[in-house]
Amino acid sequence: MTGSKKIKKREYKGFLFLLPSFAGVCLFWVIPYLDVIRRSFFSAVSGEFTGLKNYSTIFENQAFRLAAGNTLRFFLVCIPLLVVLSLMIAVLLTRRKKSMQALKSMFLLPMAIPVASVVLLWKVLFHDQGLLNHF
């Protein structure tokens, strides 16, 4: 087998590994998203084709414009602020290796503990027959 055939075979193997993930994304995200876009051109009650009438209706609605404006403001202010603050905290935690080890552990601990374990712990502590309620 020549070198170029081996490379092509490797490329196909890579695509085969990506195929289940791609199928899942298509099945659970792309297809429903396209279906929502398709349905937006039809009446919700009768199912008749309405064209762009649904879009003109929502853009005339004051509550929708308020919600869209709030969402846009959130994206323009909160998301960049969150990214910058997270980056600053990450730089701070990696710069001070010895003194920040405990703080780094506190940040990462919620990711290490599965949610089911936390739920069981809370149930053991705060249930009607839980440990804290006995005291």
Q: Decide if pLDDT at 30 tops 90.
A: yes
What pLDDT is stored for residue 6 in this prediction?
66
Does residue 28 have a pLDDT over 70?
yes
Average pLDDT, the chain: 85
Q: Range with the lowest mean pLDDT among 23-32, 51-60, 78-87, 110-119?
A: 110-119
3-state secondary structure of 114: coil
Q: pTM for the full model?
A: 0.50
52-110: per-residue pLDDT in tens? 999 999 999 999 999 999 999 999 999 999 999 989 888 887 777 776 777 777 777 77
All structural domains of the chain with their residue ranges = 1-60, 61-95, 108-135
| Cα distance between residue 8 and residue 128, in whole Å | 63
